[in-house]
Chain A
Amino acid sequence: MKWLLDNWFTLALLALAACAMPGVVLVILRLFEVDGPINNWLLLTFQITYELRLSPWITLILLLLPVALLLLYFLRLKRTPMQVPSTFLWKKSVEDLHVNSLFQWLRENVLLILQLLVLLFLIYSVLGVRLHGSTMKSRHYILMIDNSASMSVKDVAPNRLEWAKQEALKEIDAASDSDFGMVIVFNSKATTLQAYTNDREKLRDAIRGITLTERPTRIEEALLLAASLANPVRSTEDLSMQPADVPDDQKRTMVQARGISTVVHVFSDGRFAKLSEQAIAKLKLRGPDDDPKQGGLNLRYHLAGSLAKPGNANNVGIILFNVHRQPIDAKKKADSQQLLAWVRLANVRAQSAAVRVKLDVYVEGEKRHSLEQSKTIPARKYVPAKADEEDDVDEPGEAEIRFDLPSLELRSNIVLHAYFVNQQDDFSLDDHAWLAVGTTRKAKVLIVTKGNSHLDAMFKQEGTQRIAIAEWMTPADLNGDEYRKKARAGDVDLVVFDRCVPADELDMPLANTLLIDRPPPPWRRGTAVLKNPLFIASQRDHPLLKHLTTINDIRTHEAFVFDVRKNLSAEAAKEADLPIGHAKHRTLPTVERIVETSNQTPLLFAMARGPHTDLVQTFPLTSDDGGLLSDWGLQPSFPLFFWNLLYILGKVDDSVRTVSVSPGEPMVLRPDAGFRFVQLTTPDQRKIKLPRTERNEIVFADTDKLGIYRYQVALAEDERRLVNEPRRGFAVNLLDSNETNIEPRPSIRIGNERIVSGEKKSQTREIWKWILLLVVVLLLTEWIIYQRRIAV
């Protein structure tokens, strides 16, 4: 006992060191980010995990504090010796003081122990140990950040996106460690940057990593993504799925939806298109009074941007840029084309704007013409909403400029660049627009027939020849090498088999096909036929039936009945019967009915064959002797159908149609059949080599930058031969009136709900770390003062 009393100070120090050791080890492990296994072990053994609540360097300082304190303590012990005539009175004085205060002899040592203890607590508090399985209530929140083009406007410093990021970081700071957050960034698409986590550092990292894009805004996808992630539908028996008007006797027992009450923070300037009806139907918003257990999104809108003057934003922009081919004047040269360019301008200023628009015409990369026009765009009409239900009347002033371009060579690659001259506004991305007018890509069609007057008439007319190059073969040629070479090289876009098919499945071409009166191998044309079937369009909006309104008028003598199972050859049927997972198991394709008869028997249907499509027409057009078996060939719908066929399955590209996409949208390049690769140059002069896939097309999705993307198609692997290949291009343009109107919206409308941007409310910031710091400072100050003035 006496020994204990004598050595209590040393023992206490040792005990403290022993207590501190696990904490120190944990902190160091976390600092070096190797805390995974120990956290797992802690979770399994003690149901706890830990993380650092302070940044590493502060933690390190905190760790060193006890050491510093000990050092100070021992330094203090090293007193300066000083000679005095007599220690007689001093000793007496010290003794007097000691007698005066009880336990004075304990005092300084106890202080040290207490201080060390406080520091120890601090270290453990910083560790943020969490007990799992507790009933601590945690919130869920989703941070949706708009990084579309209009977020680059600098009406708030440094720009809207940076402001939004800062606000989002504050929102993370305001959340507690038990709250789960998610980060979604949206522009024309929505991306989950960070799934639900309570590691706020991860959330912060995700926020910090967001950069500006030049894409337009579509909030729909982001909201649906948030809704699906916030409240995944777990069961169709959920209460939330119960229709509202079910009679009492038909009501089913529904389980309570285990919705998570989620707060969705939208950081945006509010400039996006209205949500579609489908999206609104899918979205479930939650009002403040709704039961949070029902799920639903609790939307909070944070306005990025300043609302200094409603109805006036300093911006004019190009919102539409199009080019039309004028009817070719017979007098002009046959190989030239006359183009007409339209530029639609928008003005979101409160006063009219006089602008000068220039149109540069580049032919094969060289500037040939430069046209300029002046125009005054009327002022924007803006009437603020009077009632809550109404929307603001907000019509930016619009004007259109038409440029009649001089006649240009038909086959050359033409790029048009429209832009404002000397225009100063807050948003520059919409001041330029580009268009690429390229060469027509013709479909290469192989027709295998014994003779068909309708097909002859179709493909030999001049109009068709402008978009398609047809080749003829006879069924006898199907066994020859020439056919096989063509079929396997993928040199054609479309093969028409008229009343004949290759005997072997392997001989089917690497191209889309139209099969007349025959199914593709391994299916057999059965003997079952329908007499005089009635033609009904199964999918009216199918692209192949575009402009076809008189399908019902088609008459045919007979059509074979096709069943994907029954018509299968015996050998293939065996393979189809094999269990799934068997190496030889054959998965039967889905039959996409396009035209059918009354009992859903297909008359025209499509089947996928790898990347290609086999279109099967179950009735012949003519008999072998040239007799007419169907009147379709005489109907107006026949050439229209073939025209669609050439455009879709033959991949005809007449250049002015799809040469412009929005940033971020994928661009489908359809080079000539049989190409090897495509060399693409982006507007910032990056060169990208796009290799050929199985299909005769390439999907290019890296279209984030506005401007002209040029590409060359290589027909051989040798890159040097690219020089001779024609240059083509496509344009990526913003052309979005919602982005051009850069004025932020104080409220957003989701269906009937209007969500007003949050009032400036005081953030519940975390102050515990500051208090922590204060405690440390106070303790040290107290120690110094005590030692200097009061204590002995």
Chain B
Amino acid sequence: MPETARPTPLLDPQFLHRLEQLELVSRKIFTGAIKGERRSKRKGQSVEFADYRNYVKGDDLRHLDWNLYARLDRLFIRLFQEEEDLHFYLLMDNSLSMDFGTPTKLHYARQIAAALAFIGLVNMDRVVIEVFNDHVVESMPAVRGRRSLWRVMNFLEKIAPAGPSNLRESLKTFTMKSTGKGIVVLLSDMMDKAGYEEALRYLVARQFDIYVIQILAQEELDPAIQGDLKLVDIEDADEAEISVSAPLLERYRQNLAAFQTGLQEFCNRRGITFLATSNQVPFDRLVLSYLRQRGLVR
């Protein structure tokens, strides 16, 4: 379905209300740039006591434990568990192939992105959205806080399908320019003729907590086509002439299953969480149920 006709708004208020109760979970503890609501590796200023250490010159006198000084006549600094913000990267594929299906895969990806971004914003995480096709097309600067929601929405709304896809190049660029560590959610159909392996390796190398959500249209999963066709690739106008027959369809399904299994295995081996979904799966269920099961949100 063309991008011009959007079936639904990205997020409706009721759904937003339910999302408010969720938060993003990272299986890794990262260092944040600014204090946030997450426990950081670093000790910092929070209410949660962590340890004591000897005062050294230059420490903030506000953290001196005066009670201990009175008892032991020695200066101790109270160390607290630092609570930090989280880098939450949303990588969205906007190549032409995402402009397919009803609703389009891109729209579906936008909805997921909006939902996840909202959760991130509510939890004071640093939400970064990167849009790519064969290169990183557009980036939304990191935003935090609920009040940035409109910016996120605005940004998502403006994403239009364009260009061919090149996962490898795009992710390479992303890994090189992004500084922080955190959660990376890759929203794409993963249909790259050059393969996804190298691209994902870039992410793995940066030790991101990676989630790959493969979005496929129902037409891709179970093609209802007939007759003699000339299939034209929407991205590179590559043609494939087929005469649809039962064995061919069977072979296609097998290949698709094999492709997804291959992707799944690749991800599992590298600690990447993989989730395949179709545009027919209700979006709220995906977020509230599937992503919860996968442990992205809680």
Contact = CB atoms under 8 A, between A and B. Distances in A.
B242 interface: yes
B245 A791 contact: yes
A87 B219 CA distance: 13
A94 B240 contact: yes
Interface stretch (B26-34, B68-76, B221-229, B281-289): B221-229
Contacts of A21: none
B231 interface: yes
A97 to B, nearest CB: 6
State which size class the interface on A falls in: 20 to 34
Most chain-B CB neighbours within 10 Å: which of A76, A80, A86, A97? Answer: A86
Contact of B229 (A80, A86, A96, A789): A80
Contact of A87 (B96, B225, B239): B239
Nearest to A81: B230
Contact of A789 (B219, B231, B245, B252): B245
Contacts of B227: 80, 788
A706 to B, nearest CB: 72
Contacts of A88: 191, 193, 233
A90 B242 CA distance: 8
Interface string B210-242: 000000010110000101111111110011111
A386 B40 CA distance: 129
B251 A83 contact: no
Given A79-B241, A94-B242, A792-B242, A89 B256 contact: yes
A791 B240 contact: no
Contact of B232 (A82, A787, A788): A82
A94 B248 contact: yes
B229 A79 contact: yes
A166 interface: no
Contacts of B189: 85-86
B255 interface: yes
B174 interface: no
Given A93-B251, A792-B242, A86 B225 contact: no
B259 A82 contact: no
A97 B228 contact: no
Contacts, number: 100
A84 B239 CA distance: 10
Interface in B95-138: 96-98, 100, 105
Contacts of A87: 231-233, 238-240
Contact of A92 (B97, B217, B255): B255
Contacts of A96: 251, 255
Contacts of A331: none
A790 interface: yes
Given A85-B100, A792-B243, A93 B255 contact: yes
Contacts of B238: 87, 91
Interface string A57-83: 000000000000000000010011111
Contact of A90 (B96, B105, B228, B240): B240
Contacts of A92: 255
Nearest to B193: A88
Contact of B247 (A79, A86, A91, A97): A97
B47 interface: no
B246 interface: yes
A787 B230 contact: no
Interface in B157-216: 189, 191, 193
A90 B255 CA distance: 9
A790 B247 contact: yes
B225 to A, nearest CB: 7
A83 B230 CA distance: 8
Nearest to A92: B255
B193 A790 contact: no
Interface in A79-134: 79-94, 96-97
A86 B191 contact: yes
B252 A85 contact: no
Nearest to B216: A85
What size tier do the contact residues of chain B reach? Answer: 35 or more
Contacts of A81: 229-232, 239
A86 B196 CA distance: 14
Given A93-B255, A94-B240, A96-B255, A86 B248 contact: no
A93 B252 contact: yes
A601 B15 CA distance: 146
A87 B237 CA distance: 9
Contacts of B242: 90, 94, 792
Interface string A588-617: 000000000000000000000000000000
A789 B191 CA distance: 28
Interface string B44-78: 00000000000000000000000000000000000
A510 to B, nearest CB: 93
B252 A86 contact: no
Contacts of A91: 238, 240
Nearest to B189: A85
Contacts of A791: 243, 245
Contacts of B217: 85
Given A94-B248, A97-B247, A80 B255 contact: no
Given A79-B241, A85-B220, A792-B243, A97 B248 contact: yes
Contacts of B251: 93, 96-97
A788 B98 CA distance: 30
Interface in B128-159: none
A91 B191 CA distance: 13
A89 B255 contact: yes
A89 B100 contact: no
A92 B262 CA distance: 15
B278 to A, nearest CB: 13
A86 B100 CA distance: 10
Interface in B247-272: 247-248, 251-252, 254-256, 259
Given A89-B252, A89-B259, A83 B232 contact: yes
Q: Which of B228, B235, B238 has the most CB of A within 10 A?
A: B228
Interface in A43-64: none
Contacts of B105: 85
A366 B227 CA distance: 86
Q: Which of A80, A89, A97 is most buried by chain B, counting CB atoms within 10 A of its CB?
A: A89
Interface in A739-792: 787-792
Contacts of A788: 227, 245
Nearest to B220: A85
A87, A89, A97, A789: residue with the most chain B Cβ atoms closer than 10 Å: A87
Contacts of B233: 83-88
A80 B97 contact: no
A68 to B, nearest CB: 18
A627 B130 CA distance: 162
Nearest to B233: A87
Nearest to B252: A93
A92 B258 CA distance: 11
B248 A82 contact: no
Contacts of B246: 789-790
Contacts of A79: 228-230, 241
Contact of B97 (A82, A85, A97): A85
A93 B254 CA distance: 9
A352 B271 CA distance: 116
Contacts of A86: 97, 189, 191, 193, 233-235
Nearest to A75: B228
A82 B230 contact: yes
Interface of A: 76, 79-94, 96-97, 787-792
11 contacts: A79-B228, A80-B228, A82-B231, A84-B231, A84-B232, A85-B98, A85-B191, A87-B231, A90-B242, A93-B255, A97-B248
Interface of B: 96-98, 100, 105, 189, 191, 193, 217, 219-220, 225, 227-235, 238-243, 245-248, 251-252, 254-256, 259
Given A89-B255, A94-B240, 7 more contacts: A84-B219, A85-B97, A85-B220, A85-B235, A91-B238, A93-B252, A790-B246
Q: When A and B form their complex, which 3 residue pairs have the shortest distance between CB atoms, in order from nearest?
A: A85-B97, A79-B230, A86-B191
